[in-house]
């Protein structure tokens, strides 16, 4: 591993250089008549000089401000659209008259040749700082040259003189620069529904399956700044603004910004039947978001939690417990989507979770991200190929966007925490590499191709550089590298926009396929696949912000599993694909609505799972548990069907409604009701009939998805 990471860094650095060279050839600044025939840096300088001189010649400073020798600055965020017209987006100044004058001046800007991307006209955003008293481009250049000369001269240190650099650090009014940045939008199904309709308009050239989105991706179709302004509540006091409208700490300066917020998830509830008097979640955390220059953004979040859940969820969490859970000092559970939990008091859990992402976006084509978190690929509530329902993991992701294509490479570092995989008192390490090609075949149809390979650190294999090549076909490389210790999966996704209200979507996952067995038509176990069908209805029945969704998921037995459980499609005893594992079918009905700060979500899940009996008289593997070897204890080779084994019917109704307290952190006050009916054909010690009603009230920052539908 020590030799791998320097090589990885070298390849990454080489790629970045290449990316920067691509930018030079494909992107071009808008062109004033005086800037014709200029290229690259010269064109950029000429553009800004022309804008500066136009402002200098046309901006009228009010006479009373001139008389008072007013000094200050105006920050103007503006765009040049595809037709070459100027438009102001945001103006920051402490004088309303100066703001209006700046708007007037930019409205007088002449039409010019627009910016181009790959030779095609496009809109682009820029920032200009207007100093009062006004200065021409020549004046500014002269001042900068004088400063450069002064700084280059040697000077004698004065023991009694203090420098004023610290006092001269400038801060700007915080204007939420994240809204136009490459920062990740925290993935929450409920929050993403706010802009789902906007980004799925017919004719849009985006790629909605790859989540989480960045603000820059969505900002082309959804105005975050306007949406935030509409949610603002008039508050004069500091505490009122911080509680209901703003970040706790927000700083913006020349080329940088960051925001800091406390994170809460405080819930209290009651489940029935239950031995516990009440359920609860007590999460305290801290989130930091920021940007450095135009190309680097980052976020880090740390959660510390204690919790006790409904009995069924506690039982499931303990069923996927890690190695050593039965010892006195062992960890008794894995909380789905969170991670390994310690015992807290007698019947609760103590758990922590961290997420962090740093993104480098050198151009509109390339984005590089190093993260510790989760990913999601798909347009539905579930994903068969990559879900966010697992515990966080380290990963490195490359997004390449051009023409009508987005190509995503993800390299993931996973863990197997079973006793069988323990070596030298350490959880086993496994690796996953996947790539996903999303192609907008037309203004309505999107097609995605997915491939993934999982391998283990067998025989000191480590991170196999055979899979680092971002455009190689993994299945062939996996066979050549080590056919017996790798596991490859293929996937197909689609989305069809019938109109701006109806979207149809789906996935097809292929784990193994035998043409010979298909010809026999005997439903062989070897044909391991799953599929998803879904439809979204935006602004349903012409009710603004009402989203209706129907989704069906079908996964055959033994999907996601492998002859060596170490190389299955799992991480920390959870499935990286659908959370139910294999051998199931599921129907989901979803309704989401929001108006102002009020929201309501409803979800109904009905499914059939084929579970193992795990009794003395029946120890067969029926294909639902992905951590079992599919070559051992398999009861049938043919006539394999979904629901085989201990056929279990599951019905879950989930209703939630509440009030958005603070849009800056997506802090919500809510109430929820979950009803779950679990009905197996045969009751066993671990699988038994149960009906649960779970009522909760809480205050939560909705920045990741809780999945309680097991």
**pLDDT at residue 386, rounded to an integer:** 98
CB 606 within 8 A of CB 587: yes
Tokens of 198: 């906007």
Lowest mean pLDDT among 165-174, 205-214, 352-361: 165-174
Element (H, E) at 672: strand 667-680
Report the C-alpha gap between 563 and 408 in whole angstroms.
Answer: 28
Report the C-alpha gap between 79 and 554 in whole angstroms.
Answer: 47
Over residues 578-590, the pLDDT tens digits come to 999 999 999 999 9
Higher-pLDDT residue of 383, 459: 383
Tokens of 658: 């509440």
Helix axes 137-152, 40-58, angle to 10 degrees: 120
CB 392 within 8 A of CB 355: yes
Ordered DSSP codes for 475-520: HHHHHHHHTTTEEEEEEEEEEEESSSSEEEEEEEEEEE--HHHHHH
pLDDT at 14 over 70: no
Which residue(s) pair with 655 in the sheet?
A: 602, 673
Report the C-alpha gap between 522 and 180 in whole angstroms.
Answer: 55
**pLDDT at residue 425, rounded to an integer:** 78
Q: Is the pTM of this model over 0.85?
A: no
**pLDDT at residue 157, rounded to an integer:** 62
How is the beta sheet containing 72-80 ordered, strand by strand?
86-92, 72-80, 124-132
Q: How many Cβ atoms sit within 10 Å of the Cβ of residue 108?
A: 11
Report the C-alpha gap between 420 and 259 in whole angstroms.
Answer: 44
Tokens of 621: 């593997």
Confidence of residue 430 (pLDDT cuts 50, 70, 90): very high
**pLDDT at residue 156, rounded to an integer:** 61
Q: How many Cβ atoms sit within 10 Å of the Cβ of residue 57?
A: 10
Print burial letters for 6-16: b (CB count within 10 Å at least 16), e (below 16): eeeeeebeebe
Lowest mean pLDDT among 67-81, 468-482, 549-563: 468-482
Residue carrying structure tokens 């191709």: 449
**pLDDT at residue 613, rounded to an integer:** 96
Q: How many Cβ atoms sit within 10 Å of the Cβ of residue 484?
A: 9
pLDDT at 466 over 90: no
**pLDDT at residue 677, rounded to an integer:** 98
Higher-pLDDT residue of 140, 671: 671
Tokens of 491: 């996937």
Is 317 strand, coil or helix?
Answer: helix
pLDDT at 367 over 50: yes
In the chain, pLDDT over 70 holds for what percent of residues?
93
Q: Residue 275 contacts by C-beta under 8 Å, 6 or more apart in sequence?
A: 311, 347
Tokens of 4: 């791998």
pLDDT at 22 over 60: no
**pLDDT at residue 11, rounded to an integer:** 37
Confidence of residue 93 (pLDDT cuts 50, 70, 90): confident
**pLDDT at residue 555, rounded to an integer:** 98
Over residues 662-693, the pLDDT tens digits come to 999 999 999 999 999 999 999 999 899 999 99
**pLDDT at residue 298, rounded to an integer:** 98
The separation between CA 699 and the C-alpha centre of its own chain, rounded to angstroms, equals: 22
**pLDDT at residue 465, rounded to an integer:** 76
pLDDT at 67 over 90: no
No. of H helices and E strands in the chain?
Answer: 13, 32
Q: How far is CA 365 from CA 17, 23, 27, 31, in A?
A: 13, 8, 10, 22
Tokens of 327: 């010892």
pLDDT at 15 over 70: no
Report the C-alpha gap between 678 and 653 in whole angstroms.
Answer: 12
Helix axes 96-107, 40-58, angle to 10 degrees: 120
Report the C-alpha gap between 477 and 453 in whole angstroms.
Answer: 10
């Amino acid at each position: 591993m020590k030799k791998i990471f320097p090589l990885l860094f070298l390849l990454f650095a080489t790629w970045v250089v290449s990316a920067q060279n691509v930018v030079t050839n494909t992107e071009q600044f808008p062109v004033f008549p005086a800037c014709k025939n200029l290229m690259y840096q010269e064109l950029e300088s000429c553009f800004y000089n022309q804008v500066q001189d136009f402002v200098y010649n046309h901006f009228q400073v009010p006479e009373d401000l001139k008389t008072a020798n007013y000094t200050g600055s105006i920050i103007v965020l503006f765009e040049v659209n595809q037709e070459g017209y100027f438009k102001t987006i945001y103006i920051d100044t402490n004088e309303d008259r100066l703001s209006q004058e700046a708007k007037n001046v930019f409205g007088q800007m002449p039409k010019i040749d627009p910016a181009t991307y790959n030779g095609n006209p496009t809109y682009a955003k820029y920032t200009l700082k207007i100093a009062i008293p006004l200065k021409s481009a020549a004046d500014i250049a002269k001042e900068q040259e004088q400063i450069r000369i002064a700084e280059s001269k040697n000077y004698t240190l004065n023991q009694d003189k203090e420098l004023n650099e610290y006092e001269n650090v400038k801060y700007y009014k915080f204007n939420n620069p994240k809204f136009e940045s490459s920062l990740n939008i925290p993935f929450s199904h409920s929050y993403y529904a706010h802009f789902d309709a906007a980004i799925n308009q017919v004719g849009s050239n985006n790629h909605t399956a790859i989540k989480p989105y960045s603000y820059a991706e969505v900002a082309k179709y959804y105005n975050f700044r306007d949406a935030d302004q509409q949610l603002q509540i008039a508050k004069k006091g500091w505490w009122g603004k911080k509680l209901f409208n703003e970040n706790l700490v927000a700083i913006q300066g020349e080329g940088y910004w960051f925001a800091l917020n406390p994170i809460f998830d405080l819930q209290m509830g009651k489940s029935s039947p239950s031995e516990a008097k009440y359920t609860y979640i007590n999460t305290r955390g801290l989130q930091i978001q920021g940007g450095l220059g135009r190309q680097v953004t980052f976020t880090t979040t740390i959660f510390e939690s204690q919790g006790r859940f409904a009995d069924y969820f506690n039982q499931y969490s303990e069923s996927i417990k890690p190695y050593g859970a039965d010892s006195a000092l062992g960890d008794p559970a894995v909380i789905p989507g969170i991670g390994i939990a310690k015992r807290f008091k007698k019947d609760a859990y103590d758990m922590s979770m961290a997420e962090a992402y740093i993104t480098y976006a050198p151009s509109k084509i390339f984005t590089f991200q190093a993260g510790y978190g989760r990913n999601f690929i798909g347009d539905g509530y579930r994903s068969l190929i990559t879900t966010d329902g697992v515990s966080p993991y380290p990963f490195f992701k490359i997004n390449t966007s051009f023409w009508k294509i987005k190509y995503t490479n993800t390299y993931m570092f996973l863990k197997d925490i079973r006793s069988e995989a323990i070596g030298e008192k350490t959880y086993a390490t496994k690796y996953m590499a996947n790539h996903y090609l999303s192609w907008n075949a037309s203004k309505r149809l999107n097609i995605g191709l997915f491939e993934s390979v999982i391998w283990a650190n067998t025989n000191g294999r480590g991170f196999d550089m055979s899979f680092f090549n971002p455009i190689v076909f993994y299945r062939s490389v996996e066979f050549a590298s080590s056919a017996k210790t790798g596991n490859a999966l293929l996937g197909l996704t689609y989305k069809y926009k019938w109109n701006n209200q109806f979207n149809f979507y789906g996935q097809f996952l292929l784990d193994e396929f035998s043409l010979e067995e298909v010809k026999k038509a005997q439903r062989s176990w070897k044909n391991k696949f799953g599929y998803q069908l879904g439809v979204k209805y935006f602004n349903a029945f012409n009710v603004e912000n009402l989203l209706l969704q129907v989704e069906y998921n079908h996964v055959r037995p033994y999907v996601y599993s492998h002859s060596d459980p170490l190389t299955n499609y799992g991480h920390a005893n959870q499935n990286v694909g659908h959370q139910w594992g294999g051998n199931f079918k599921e129907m989901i009905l979803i309704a989401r609505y929001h108006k102002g700060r009020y929201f309501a979500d409803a979800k109904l899940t009905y499914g059939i799972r084929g579970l193992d009996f795990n009794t003395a008289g029946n120890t067969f593997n029926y294909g639902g548990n992905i951590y079992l070897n599919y070559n051992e204890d398999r009861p049938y080779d043919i006539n394999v069907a979904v629901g085989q084994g201990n056929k279990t019917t599951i019905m879950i109704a989930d209703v939630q409604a509440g009030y958005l307290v603070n849009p800056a952190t997506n802090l919500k006050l809510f109430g929820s009701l979950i009803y779950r009916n679990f009905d197996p054909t045969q009751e066993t010690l671990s699988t038994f009939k149960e009906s649960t009603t779970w009522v909760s009230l809480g205050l939560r920052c909705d920045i990741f998805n809780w999945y309680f539908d097991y």
